[in-house]
Amino acid sequence: MTGVPASAAGGSGAKPVRGGKLGTAAVNQASLWNIANILTMVRLLLVPGFVLLLFHNGGYDPAWRSFAWAAFAIAMITDLFDGHLARTYNLVTDFGKIADPIADKAIMGAALVSLSILGDLPWWITGVIIARELGITLMRFWVIRHAVIPASRGGKLKTLAQGTAVGMYVLALTGPLATLRFWVMMVAVVLTVVTGLDYVRQAVVLRRKGLAAERAAAAERAAEAAEEA
């Protein structure tokens, strides 16, 4: 993901990593049109394409659902690379910090809502996952001025479980695989709730520390001003 402050990604003037696949010009200047942002834009464009493919011919054509699965898979795969590229090659931008989490939630939300509309996925599952993702996105902006919560192993497992489960529901599976995808989705729901609660805990702690640091800095500046006076 690209939702990382520039200070954490080399924005303070540190030289970017050399020897990568990107050209020197792309590395030295994090313009809007860099590879990380382009991947994020591609993911955003895939959202309406995915929905159209999934609902084509009534939404139950195995061939068109396979095409929809391909679009969903590409979107999930690009999510693995854009953040890594942005952090490694100093390509973090304000656009990326805002658009990347939106793109992540858009493709997953579109898939969940579409599957529930088709009757393939219970609405309560869609509600739990979307509520968690929207809540965490808002909380990210709530604490971003103070710190960025690093990606955890649980969060990565949650993303993997969600992507796998939703991908299995997009495909027209039958028999044992159709049963298996339900249990994979249950694992995804549990991880979604558990990691969401942990994220809230970390966000509250970081915000409190950030506010305390700001108050301490303000008090120090006030003391220095009083001494100069």
Q: Let me know: does 104 contact 79? Beta carbons within 8 Å.
A: yes
State the burial class of residue 57 (Cβ atoms within 10 Å of its Cβ: 0-12, 13-18, 19+): exposed
pLDDT of residue 24: 40
Q: Is the pLDDT of residue 79 over 90?
A: no
**Which of the two residues, 111 and 133, has the higher pLDDT score?**
111
Of 3-7, 71-75, 85-89, the poorest mean pLDDT is in 3-7
CA distance 37 to 49: 19
Dig out the tokens for 38 from the structure.
């382009």
From 97, 147, 106, 124, select the one nearest 193 (Cα to Cα): 124
Hey, which CATH number is domain 6-228, 3.40.640.10, 3.40.30.10, 1.20.120.1760, 3.40.50.720?
1.20.120.1760
CA distance 63 to 163: 20
Q: Let me know: does 157 contact 191? Beta carbons within 8 Å.
A: yes
Residue 35 CA: distances (Å) to CA of 17, 21, 79, 196: 15, 11, 12, 30
pTM score:
0.73
CA distance 4 to 124: 32
How much of the chain is helix, strand and coil, in % rounded to 5?
75, 0, 25
pLDDT of residue 50: 97
Q: Let me know: does 83 contact 4? Beta carbons within 8 Å.
A: yes
Q: What is the pLDDT of residues 174-215, one digit of tens each?
A: 999 999 999 999 999 999 999 999 988 888 888 788 777 777
pLDDT of residue 17: 42
Q: Where are the beta strands (DSSP E) in 43-169?
A: none
